[in-house]
Amino acid sequence: LAKTTQPISMDSYEGQEVNITCSHNNIATNDYITWYQQFPSQGPRFIIQGYKTKVTNEVASLFIPADRKSSTLSLPRVSLSDTAVYYCLVGDARSGGGADGLTFGKGTHLIIQP
Amino acid sequence: EPEVTQTPSHQVTQMGQEVILRCVPISNHLYFYWYRQILGQKVEFLVSFYNNEISEKSEIFDDQFSVERPDGSNFTLKIRSTKLEDSAMYFCASKGRVGSTDTQYFGPGTRLTVL
């Protein structure tokens, strides 16, 4: 599994766009990039997944440059309720075995202030 | 939207007792997982289960742990003789239904407190 590096914490304000960058220099050809969000005392929640270029859903956008050695999760117009830990995971999400457990790092603790 | 459910939400037990944590994965999902998170630490993978058998397990998942899918809906984690260090949040997850992505969907967790 490719190792990921992301900031331990970030602060922002309501209404701002927040970008969290994750480095994964050893990403493999078959690896996908997945972001999860976790609120205190709750299970991780899937946000977005991508392989290359840009992916957008109703919650976030994921930007992946051509070399795929990093990725950026973009949260538009954050609110107080976006305060959470955000995890970047890299792995072969579509492996034939399919049963691989996820490896979580420490994530980025995002704090949104009024 | 379908979701993974877990019971109980909080379990308190005495050291050395057996506990069973229960999960109902999303209907028609094929892969099932248990994770744990000790307070203030990372989410750690314990075990994955597919086709009625363990597919993968971590070093944490020793002989004190077992998993079972006793019927078509429940997925359980049993800790045979709990230790103080087993105190943690335990999350169940599932993934994989026909036509889906491979995202794992997590339940709300069971907080296990071992006294």
Interface test with A, best of B23, B47, B57, B103 (most A CBs within 10 A): B103
The residue whose two tokens read 């070093």 is B59
Question: Is A1 domain-assigned?
Answer: no
Contacting A residues, span 19-58, partner chain B, CB-CB under 8 Å? 34, 38, 41-46, 49
Subunit contact A44:B106, Cβ cutoff 8 A: yes
Q: Which residues of B77-99 are buried (b: 16+ CB within 10 A; e: fewer)?
A: bebeebeeebbbbbbbbbbbeee
Kindly report the CATH number assigned to the domain that includes residue A89: 2.60.40.10
Question: Is A69 domain-assigned?
Answer: yes
Q: What is the pLDDT of residues A39-91, one digit of tens each?
A: 998 999 999 999 999 999 999 999 999 999 999 999 999 999 999 999 999 88
Which of A8, A14, A6, A10 lies closest to A110, judged by CA? Answer: A10
Going by the DSSP 8-state scheme, the letter that residue B29 receives in this structure is -
Q: What is the CATH number of domain B5-95?
A: 2.60.40.10
What average pLDDT does the structure give for chain A? Answer: 90
Could you list the residue range(s) of the whole structural domain that residue A67 is in? 9-94+105-113
Question: Is A90 domain-assigned?
Answer: yes
Q: What is the mean pLDDT of residues A1-10?
A: 88
Question: Is A3 domain-assigned?
Answer: no
Structure-block tokens of residue A76: 């538009």
pLDDT (0 to 100) of residue A98: 57
SS3 A65: coil
